[in-house]
Amino acid sequence: MLSSRMPRMPRTLRMCSRRRLASVSLGLVVAMNAVVLTTLPGCGGQKEIVADTPAAAPGITFTGPRELRGTIGSLASLKGTDPLPVNRYGLVVNLDGTGSNIVPEWMRSWLVNEMQKLGVGRRSIIARNPEWQFMTPQRILDDPRTAVVRVSGLIPPGASEGTRFDLLVEALDEDTGTTSLAGGELWQADLGLMGGDPRLLDVRRLAIGRGPIYIPPYEAVHGSTGSQAEVTRYRRQAVIVGGGQVTDPRRLEIVLNQASSNTARLIERAINAKFRRAPDERDNTAVPASRQRIELNIPRRYQANPEHLIDLIAHTFVGPVPIGPTVDDMVAWMERDNTPEVRRRAMLTIKALGAIAAEHLSRHYGHQDPQIRLAVLEAGAYLKDTTVADALIALADSPEVSTRIAVANGLVHIPRNTGVIATLRQLLSDPEMDVRMAAYETLSVHRDPMIDSLAIRDTNGTKFVIDRVPSDVPSVFIEAEGLPRVVLFDAGQGFQQPVFASLWENRMTLMSPSSIAQASLGLEEGNTAFLPVVRRGPLQEAGGGVMQAEVFDAAGGSATVRASNPDALAILADGLSEEPASGFLVQGRVADNVAGRLTLEMVGLDRSLEDMPLSVYYRDPREPRPTVHRVTPTVATLAFFLAHRPTMQQPQEGLDLDFGQVVDVLYTLGQNGAIPAQVTLAQSDLADMIVGVRERAAPIERPETDGQAPSLPEPAVEPAPEEASAKLD
């Protein structure tokens, strides 16, 4: 049992005790939080009376469940387990004319200084980027392609250096000119505590934020179309997925309810015994800081999920406990109070006991209550008891969705074998998306070869990941939290013909050509052409052993197809009929395309139009002319093409669009039926979380401003901003 900390002995008494130890008489009366010292001789024989000296404040008393008495969570509290709000002001660039030059006067000079730190206007930068010669900080702020924003984020508990987190970006209330942040990119901004207070623009940096803007389609969030005013208000707020990066690690601390060196030492030993550091890690998990504080370091194996480590530590017993009776006590607790929270805490306590608890837990694997049985089976799997595999697999056919999800989650702890793989393959084709995602997550943790994964990268790192998994239920899941990803259930997911979609005021059009004229648009000599045709005309001699014929589409449009070798001639003569048919896909190399007359060298023929490549027409706002591309008609290939940035190492064609733009395209194709599968966008609750933090914080008064900062005069020798079309990144 822990003893209360005794009050520190008064300095006068300590001095006298060293001189006249034998003759000093000390009486201590402890009552009602007061210490009374009576008849205390002074150093010179005089009596010193000290009355009603306050004792140390009483510690916190644990009032939680009796089953958890003796755990670290009953003896101490954890400090630093709430997300840490950080914020700052920043600049979004590369907007399509939807920004504004309205910058509050109280921050204009600060932003100019920040841009100068990043090198804007420096000769060394201009030497490497000549197109930046007219890009001064003042001109950038006045450019309609930029907008000043407030950047906010929540650093997770236990975050180590480099940990990524999502950011919320909002146009300022004073900036009434910015209509949309879509397509923009946040320049690097330093984030810190109280960074949103205009009186404290220079704050200690805890993280940095940067990256492309993500705004999910309005209809996907609200379920319907909105008015122009509603859509504009919505698009003035955005997320940067994984855009925050921790630069100053967050320290977690355990604070004892009662200060005690002995208890602190016991807690430290219990943590370091249960949650050991890796051989190449320098610091122990628990490091004592005082009689009442213990600092925590997150071992590498828990850094992806430090919250789980925090939960386990809170449910770890400080001293030795009988394993079998403790396991039975936890099961009995669930039987008395079979609620999700009690089941969670009871199983955390058993997991914290370690692998030795599995033997005793196995007695309860057949528990008659299905919820308790599922909980103990999952805990057994966590404790590496492979005997639970068959029992978990047997529950994969449960009619309860929550049970099938729990099975998929529990199998993450079981080594891969034939039964486990077959069960996860079955769950990947479950009718419920949540079950399919749980099975996918389990496979993803182990980098299972069943998942065909492709990371789309640019100069800033990974844009997003395309994961293809086998499934009999085609569906698309798009996640915009942490590391953004597009999960395709059905690796070869294609499109429902005909395909047509137009986005961003017709800057992009996607279509499966239904006529020869559409298919030939933009083709040049040497390109491969794919023509939708329904019949051919009679064969004719073209000289030199070459045969040719006219091919016709459903609207009567035509092209000339030549065959200069026996294989091509056989396809042209025997594969294509002169009688109208439902449709063929003729493939050939463009020999000529003059004045609307297309001539092909025959290559191949397909009796279905499902493999007709998509024609993608795109007008980049930074380029003078639109481009036309042909893309293999699968969702995975289209997503790759839209996001890919061609490089020397990967010279494949690509438009280098950001994640938000790719999501726009996929969601639009899903809504109009071109993707014959469910398209699901996971919604982030970041905005709601940050609003909640703000509501709990004290209001901040801003310096007076008219909200309409004037633009600086334009130097006559410099071109207008639209002529200096450098990409700001």
d(CA 578, CA 301): 67
List, as own/partner pairs, every contact residues 396-402 make where C-beta atoms lie below 8 angstroms and the sequence separation is at least 24, other chains included. Answer: 396/423, 396/426, 396/427, 401/432, 401/434, 401/435
> In the predicted model, is pLDDT for residue 669 greater than 50?
yes
**83 vs 41: which has the higher pLDDT:** 83
Q: Pick the range with the lowest mean pLDDT from 29-43, 197-211, 246-260, 567-581.
A: 29-43
Classify residue 192 by its DSSP letter: B
Model confidence at 377, pLDDT cuts 50, 70, 90, reads very high
d(CA 218, CA 200): 35
- Partner residues linked to 148 by β-bridges: 91
- Partner residues linked to 168 by β-bridges: 152, 239
State mean pLDDT over 647-661. 88
State mean pLDDT over 577-583. 83
Q: What is the mean pLDDT of the chain?
A: 81
CB 194 within 8 A of CB 95: no
User: Tell me, what's the pLDDT at 398?
Assistant: 92
Give the percent of the chain with pLDDT over 90: 37
CB 292 within 8 A of CB 75: no
Classify residue 722 by its DSSP letter: G
d(CA 634, CA 494): 4
CB 75 within 8 A of CB 257: yes
Three-state SS string over 344-405 comes to: HHHHHHHHHHCHHHHHHHHHHCCCCCHHHHHHHHHHHHHCCCHHHHHHHHHHHHCCCHHHHH
Task: Tell me the three state secondary structure of residue 221.
Answer: helix
Model confidence at 643, pLDDT cuts 50, 70, 90, reads very high
> In the predicted model, is pLDDT for residue 52 greater than 60?
no
d(CA 487, CA 197): 40
User: Tell me, what's the pLDDT at 153?
Assistant: 92
Segment 324-355, tens digit of pLDDT: 999 999 999 999 999 999 999 999 999 999 99
- Partner residues linked to 587 by β-bridges: 530, 604
User: Tell me, what's the pLDDT at 162?
Assistant: 87
Most trustworthy range by pLDDT among 298-307, 465-474, 598-607, 615-624: 465-474
Model confidence at 195, pLDDT cuts 50, 70, 90, reads low
Segment 411-439, tens digit of pLDDT: 999 888 889 999 999 999 999 999 999 99
User: Tell me, what's the pLDDT at 3?
Assistant: 36
State mean pLDDT over 216-232. 84
- Partner residues linked to 562 by β-bridges: 548, 601
Task: Tell me the three state secondary structure of residue 204.
Answer: coil
Sign, CA dihedral 207-213-214-218, equals: positive
Model confidence at 198, pLDDT cuts 50, 70, 90, reads low
**315 vs 227: which has the higher pLDDT:** 315
User: Tell me, what's the pLDDT at 197?
Assistant: 66
Report helix, strand and coil shares of the chain as percent, to nearest 5. 30, 25, 40
Encoding tokens for residue 221? 């969030």
Segment 392-411, tens digit of pLDDT: 999 999 999 999 999 999 99
Backbone angle region of 281, left / alpha / beta, with phi > 0 → left and psi within -120 to 50 → alpha:
beta
User: Tell me, what's the pLDDT at 489?
Assistant: 95
> In the predicted model, is pLDDT for residue 519 greater than 50?
yes
d(CA 586, CA 496): 19
Three-state SS string over 40-58 comes to: EECCCCCEEEEEEEECCCC
Model confidence at 380, pLDDT cuts 50, 70, 90, reads very high
d(CA 496, CA 138): 50
Q: Pick the range with the lowest mean pLDDT from 47-51, 176-180, 544-548.
A: 47-51
Model confidence at 280, pLDDT cuts 50, 70, 90, reads confident
Sign, CA dihedral 713-717-722-727, equals: negative
CB 436 within 8 A of CB 427: yes
State mean pLDDT over 202-208. 85
**88 vs 61: which has the higher pLDDT:** 88
CB 609 within 8 A of CB 532: yes
User: Tell me, what's the pLDDT at 22?
Assistant: 31
Q: Pick the range with the lowest mean pLDDT from 35-44, 282-291, 669-678.
A: 35-44
CA 415 to chain centroid, in Å, comes to 27
> In the predicted model, is pLDDT for residue 286 greater than 80?
yes
CB 656 within 8 A of CB 621: no
User: Tell me, what's the pLDDT at 199?
Assistant: 60
State mean pLDDT over 687-698. 70
User: Tell me, what's the pLDDT at 125?
Assistant: 58
User: Tell me, what's the pLDDT at 45?
Assistant: 40
User: Tell me, what's the pLDDT at 440?
Assistant: 95
Virtual torsion, Cα 549, 550, 553, 558, nearest 10 deg? 150
Length of the chain: 729
User: Tell me, what's the pLDDT at 400?
Assistant: 93
User: Tell me, what's the pLDDT at 424?
Assistant: 94
User: Tell me, what's the pLDDT at 33?
Assistant: 30
d(CA 645, CA 458): 6
User: Tell me, what's the pLDDT at 706?
Assistant: 37
User: Tell me, what's the pLDDT at 332?
Assistant: 96
User: Tell me, what's the pLDDT at 9?
Assistant: 37
Encoding tokens for residue 150? 């407030």
**Sheet bearing 293-296, strands edge to edge:** 76-79, 252-256, 293-296, 286-288
Degrees to nearest 5, angle at CA 314 with 311 and 318: 145
Residue 185 buriedness (CB in 10 A; 0-12 / 13-18 / 19+): buried
d(CA 531, CA 77): 70
Segment 118-155, tens digit of pLDDT: 777 666 655 555 555 667 788 888 888 889 999 999 99
CB 499 within 8 A of CB 480: no
Cis-peptide, bond into residue 325, ω within 30° of zero: no
Q: Please, what's the largest Cα pairwise distance for the chain?
A: 134
Task: Tell me the three state secondary structure of residue 533.
Answer: strand
**158 vs 665: which has the higher pLDDT:** 665
Model confidence at 61, pLDDT cuts 50, 70, 90, reads low
User: Tell me, what's the pLDDT at 480?
Assistant: 87
User: Tell me, what's the pLDDT at 376?
Assistant: 95
User: Tell me, what's the pLDDT at 427?
Assistant: 95
Give the percent of the chain with pLDDT over 70: 83
User: Tell me, what's the pLDDT at 695?
Assistant: 65
CA 669 to chain centroid, in Å, comes to 23
Residue whose C-alpha is closest to residue 163's, from 209, 212, 215: 209
> In the predicted model, is pLDDT for residue 360 greater than 90?
yes
> In the predicted model, is pLDDT for residue 11 greater than 80?
no
Instruction: Tally the C-alpha atoms within 13 A of residue 195's C-alpha that lie toward its C-beta.
Output: 26
The model carries a pTM of 0.78
User: Tell me, what's the pLDDT at 94?
Assistant: 86
User: Tell me, what's the pLDDT at 2?
Assistant: 34
Classify residue 551 by its DSSP letter: E
Q: Pick the range with the lowest mean pLDDT from 25-39, 189-203, 335-349, 441-455.
A: 25-39
